[in-house]
Structure 1
Amino acid sequence: MTEGATRYLYLARHGQALPDESGLTETGRRQAVLLGERLREVPISVVHHGPLARASQTASLIAGQLDGAPLRRSEVAGDYVPYMPDKDELPEETAGYLLRFLDWVTEEDREEGAALAAQALERFTGPAEGPAGEERHELVVTHNFLVGWLVRAALDAPKWRWLGLNHGNAALTVIRYTPGRLPALLSWNDSGHIPAGLRTL
């Protein structure tokens, strides 16, 4: 029997960023507060966040609505390309478009992203440490690419399939990891806490 506690992984993309990505817009700040209010009744034990301003500001605003969950800055929760596919991995009808979308990725980006993506799977997924039958609730405030990568992994989809999984700003995705069971995608890109006029991608 697989040991460990059940992990509930809450994934959130940062709030709407300023054009220069130096921080959040007023809409982005409001989105983050609304997400924090939604999570107020969830026993979040820790808020991991990427190092860039738009993620760290979002995490801080969310944490301000929670009951003492500590903030933890993590390079692993940053903004990077988790996997760079080769043309022959991709569907013929979309390969050209997807590779053009990624044509800015350098070899250094590719290597660094792959290493960080592997660390993200190790750090954030699977059952948590703790006695069987207990639950852990963790929030990761990150970027679109990493949300797509972790969802792809939960569904055991091909590595390239993080592409096309587009997450709204401050929307919420939840994955459950129970010992001895397959990961369960409980919700995807849920923006029900954000009024329609404040929803952005």
Structure 2
Amino acid sequence: MATRHLYVIRHGTADAFGQLTDIGQRQSELVAARLAALPVDAVWHSPLPRATRCAQIVGEHLPGVAVRKAAELIDHVPYVPTEIPPAWAGFFDGYDAAEAAAGARVADALIDRFARPAESETHEVLITHAYPVAWLVRHALDAPPVRWLGLNCGNTALTVIEYRDGLAPTLLLYNDMGHLPADLRKP
């Protein structure tokens, strides 16, 4: 039975302009070193600069592995609840129906493309943002859509999900920062 192994990573720490900081670069190097021991087939990344740079660094540690952009990995709000929890009211203030629909379309595309079994054994790295990581975890656990809220993900934290035909997804690891020294573990 073929298994799709997804190694999902939030990009390294970025500055206010969306560029990796020195800390983000170091975090990216450390997660890359961790991934170097795996049989990675492809690295996919968000088109945003912080994820693109993180993917370039990871790719430098994985000779011969293709590093490609995937629009589905863009930073987005995947789901806006009908009844917003009070703690999240400020976050969703100003979201309109068009923005919510656009986010839902990206979330659906993310799941359709990556959250399914592959035709052959694959090991893919996805370098994305906190919200898509949360959405993939919520989906793997078959949790209600609102449960993506509050699933926090650290910079270059590793999440591993496996997909096999006929079986529910398996969440093997979530938000693991074991490759980072304590001073580089940033939420």
TM-score (norm 2): 0.96
Question: SS at 2:44's partner residue?
Answer: strand
Deviation at 1:106, TM superposition (A): 3.0
Question: SS at 1:41's partner residue?
Answer: coil
Q: Quick one: which amino acid aligns to residue 139 of structure 2? A: A
Question: SS at 2:160's partner residue?
Answer: strand
Instruction: Look up the match of 1:181.
Output: 167
Alignment of 1:20-39 (within 5 A): 20-21=17-18, 23-39=19-35
Deviation at 1:178, TM superposition (A): 1.6
For 2:82 and 2:89, how far apart are their aligned partners in 1?
8
Instruction: Look up the match of 1:164.
Output: 150
Contact 1:126 1:177 in 2 (8 A): yes
Alignment of 1:8-23 (within 5 A): 8-21=5-18, 23=19
How many residues matched? 187
Deviation at 1:108, TM superposition (A): 2.5
Alignment of 1:57-72 (within 5 A): 57-72=53-68
Contact 1:83 1:113 in 2 (8 A): yes
Alignment of 1:137-152 (within 5 A): 137-152=123-138
Percent identical pairs in the alignment equals: 45
Contact 1:40 1:67 in 2 (8 A): no
Instruction: Look up the match of 1:194.
Output: 180
Stretches of structure 2 lacking an aligned partner (at least 5 in a row): none
Question: SS at 1:118's partner residue?
Answer: helix
- RMSD over aligned Cα atoms: 1.2
Question: SS at 2:36's partner residue?
Answer: helix
Q: Quick one: which amino acid aligns to residue 57 of structure 1? A: R
Stretches of structure 1 lacking an aligned partner (at least 5 in a row): none
Contact 1:5 1:129 in 2 (8 A): yes
Alignment of 1:42-61 (within 5 A): 42-61=38-57
Which one has the largest radius of gyration? Answer: 1
